[in-house]
Structure formats: structure tokens, C-alpha cells
Amino acid sequence: MATTSGGDKGTRNLVIGMILFIVVVGVIFSLISSRANSTAAIPATVSEAEGYGIVLNPESSPKIDVYIDYQCPACRIFEIINGGYLNEVIAQKKAKVVFHPMTFIGPESVLAANAAACAADENKFVDMNLALFQNQSESENSGKWSSEYLVALGKSIGINSSNFETCVNDGNYIKWTSNVAAASAKADVNGTPTIFVNGKQLDRNTDYGDQAKFKAALAAGGVK
Amino acid sequence: MKAKFFIYQPWLTFMARLILGGILVAAGGLKIDNLQKSAMAVRSYEMLPIGVANFLGYALPWIEIGIGLLLVIGVAVGISGLLGALTMFAFIIAISQAWARGLNIDCGCFGGGGKVDPEDTKYLSEIIRDIGLLVLGIYLYYFPKGKFGLDK
């Protein structure tokens, strides 16, 4: 009897040890994979100091930070309501605008963010940003945004370079999307869209769904 | 009455282990798929410093899976049940304070989480479910010996 219970105890300790091992390895793996990787390739317009965001008009002020996920329906609505004005602000260099394409909705958010970064290298970020929202799928990760689709989408807005095609097909900036995610986590961004003007977060209950209020909020932050 | 309880008790322990353990494994497993979202869910409670919240978001899914596996397999049932109950107690506190402060978030219990529209919050049902699981955890702490467990 004594030996039997000793054997049971051994099995028991072995199981506890294995489960502890899984938990510890899992936690370490998760922590490492969630950290920004400084060796990741980044587009020329991306600044590590700006949370790995795509920076437009780096010399202008004030600063507007835009956190979006290309698969987020609320972001599409935000783009429809306020995208026109925001693009006007960008075109007229009235503000430095930093885009942070987050990817928490899943794999196709990563592909879309990569394609947007590839477009930034072709000086076509604003157009690609708009085109992605205009062609957002009805459901998340539906398979619509394949590499072929995103290359064709780029062509439709006039990006014909082979660099862009390679960049999208090879996923040149896939690792960079993890850096954006890590920086967004540090910036305490818990939903999309989230907009900051000079570091002050706009009120999501009022400012995103109404162009007049969005303009007023930007004006209050110094966008003239 | 008392004698009857002692007949059923090992089976009740077995059921409680499967329910609490199974739910913990499922909850952890669903979060591991999207750690960005898991960290976002913890941050949304606005209780912890950002660094701690992010750490918890990455670590919690594995801890849930660990406690869940111990319960399902039936090793260290008493202590695992207690840990499970403590986890549920922490969730109940977190959800209650979010509700009391008028935050509009999803609990992120099974993946998901983060900000939602005010009409999409379901704090009461989340709290009731977690109280049920808390009771199972406490029961397992007091009655760890059950059917089909590795513990003897």
C-alpha cells in the first residue's frame, strides 16, 4: 500500500510540475511576443518616438494622434464623417498627424496595416487609409483582404510600383504592427477610434460622430 | 441527511471541478489567441497602473489555464479551488467597480473586452455568473476529495 501511495504522489507532483511549467513558459512567451522589437523593419515615415506611428507633416503642430483598426466598423464610420476634414488638415499641413494602425481585431487587420505602411512608402498613405475603410469587409477576418486584393486596391488608387507589390506580398512591415500594438498598449488606448490632440483624448461619446464637434475639438487643440 | 451528503459529496466535487476548471481553461484559451485584446480588456477596467495591467493581460490567460487544468485533472484540488475562488473574487470586484464608476466595457472574460456601447454592457449577469463560480471554488476548498481525481 505504501508504495502505491508513493507512486500516486509521484504522478501527482509530476502533473503539478508540468502544469506549472506550461504556465511559466506561456507567460514568458506572451511577454516576449508582446514587446516591441527594435529590429523590425519600419517605413521611412514611421517614428519610434511617436509610438511607431506613421507621421504626416512632421514639422507641423499641433499634433493629432489617430488610433484605428482597419477592421473596426466604428473607425469606418469615423472616416466617413470626419476623414474628409482630417485629410484637409493633413493636405494643408495644419497639424502633424500620426496614424497608429492597431491590429487587435485579427489577422486581416495586420495585413491591412502592413499594406497601409507599404503605401506610406509610396507617399500614398492617406489615399490607402481611405480606400481600406471604403472597402472594409462586412465581417471580421472574412478572407476579403488577401495580399492580391490589397495589391489591387493599391493599384486602384494609383500605386503601380513593384516595390509596393513586393512589400504587400512579402508582408515587409508585419513585425512593425506588433510594435504599434505594444506602443498603443503603453499609451493606454483601449478602443478604436481613439484620437488625441496634443496628448488630450477627445470625448468618444460626442466628438467622433459629429463633424461640427470634431472640428471644434480640433480647433480647441489649436488646429486653425 | 448528513449521510446522504457524504454519498453525493465526491460526485459534487467532481462536477464542481469540471465546471470551474472547464470554464477557466476555456476562458484562458480564448484569450491566448489575441493577447493585444486581453491586455486591452484589463486596461479598460482602469484599476491598475498601465504596466501592471498589460502584464496581467499577457499573464492571466496562462494562469487561468493552469488553475483550470489542475481542477479538471484533479490535482491539488483544495488549493486550486481556492485560487479559482480568489480569481473570481477579483473579477467580481473589478466588474463591480467598473459598473459603479459608469465605465462602458465588456468584461473580456472569454476574449473580447474593451470599450462597448452603454447599452451593450451586461455587468449583472457577469457578476452573477462569477459569484456562482466563486461558490464552486470555495466548495472545492472545503471538499477537495472527489471522483476521478488524481488526489488521494
> Which residues does chain B have within 8 Å of residue A201's beta carbon, measured at their own beta carbons?
none
Q: Is A14 on the interface with B (CB under 8 A)?
A: no
A124-127: Cβ within 8 A, 24+ apart: A124/A154, A124/A157, A124/A158, A124/A159, A125/A45, A125/A54, A125/A56, A125/A99, A126/A56, A126/A87, A126/A90, A126/A91, A127/A157, A127/A158
The verdict on a CB contact (< 8 Å) between B59 and A30 is yes
The verdict on a CB contact (< 8 Å) between A16 and B58 is no
Task: Find, in chain A, the residue whose alpha carbon is nearest to that of B52.
Answer: A186
pLDDT score of A7:
59
First and final C-alpha spacing in chain B:
25
CA B5 to chain centre: 26
Q: Which residue(s) pair with B131 in the sheet?
A: none
> What letter would DSSP give residue A48?
G
CATH topology of domain A46-220: Glutaredoxin (3.40.30)
The verdict on a CB contact (< 8 Å) between A31 and B34 is no
CA–CA separation, B47 vs B98, rounded Å? 9
The average confidence (pLDDT) of chain A is 92
**Which residue, among B100, B126, B130, has the nearest Cα to B113 in the 3D structure?**
B126
Burial class (CB in 10 A: 0-12, 13-18, 19+), B78: middle
- Greatest Cα pair distance, chain B, in angstroms, is 52
The verdict on a CB contact (< 8 Å) between A104 and B36 is yes
> Which residues does chain B have within 8 Å of residue A104's beta carbon, measured at their own beta carbons?
34, 36-37, 40, 114
Domains of chain A, residue spans: 1-33, 46-220
Whether A69 has a pLDDT exceeding 90, the answer reads yes
Three-class DSSP category at A65: strand
Q: In b/e form, how buried is each residue of B32-57, taking b as 16+ CB within 10 angstroms? A: bebbbbbbbbbbbbbbeeeeebbbbb
Cβ–Cβ under 8 Å, residues B75 and A12: yes
Q: How does residue A1 score in pLDDT terms, banded at 50, 70 and 90?
A: very low
Best B58, B60, B70 residue to mutate vs chain A (most A CBs within 10 Å): B58
pLDDT score of B146:
82
Chain B residues at the A interface, defined by Cβ less than 8 Å, are 32, 34-37, 39-40, 43-44, 50-51, 54-55, 57-59, 61-63, 65-66, 69-70, 73, 75-76, 105, 114-115, 150-152
CA distance A191 to chain B (A): 6
Whether A3 has a pLDDT exceeding 60, the answer reads no
CA distance A59 to chain B (A): 30
Q: Which residue(s) pair with B66 in the sheet?
A: none
The total of other beta-carbon atoms located within 10 Å of residue A36's CB is: 18
> Which residues does chain B have within 8 Å of residue A31's beta carbon, measured at their own beta carbons?
55, 58-59
Residues A166-200 have pLDDT tens digits of: 999 999 999 999 999 999 999 999 989 999 999 99
Burial class (CB in 10 A: 0-12, 13-18, 19+), B4: exposed
Q: Is A10 on the interface with B (CB under 8 A)?
A: no
pTM, rounded to two decimals: 0.87
> What letter would DSSP give residue B76?
S
H/E segment holding residue B51: helix B50-73
Cβ–Cβ under 8 Å, residues A186 and B54: yes
Task: Find, in chain B, the residue whose alpha carbon is nearest to that of A106.
Answer: B34
pLDDT along chain B (152 residues), means of 10: 79 94 96 92 93 95 96 93 96 95 90 82 93 96 85 66
CA distance B18 to chain A (A): 17
Whether A5 has a pLDDT exceeding 50, the answer reads no
Q: Which one of A5, A27, A190 has the shortest CB-CB distance to B152?
A: A5
The total of other beta-carbon atoms located within 10 Å of residue A33's CB is: 12
Residues A95-145 have pLDDT tens digits of: 999 999 999 999 999 999 999 999 999 999 999 999 999 999 999 999 999
Cβ–Cβ under 8 Å, residues A94 and A223: yes
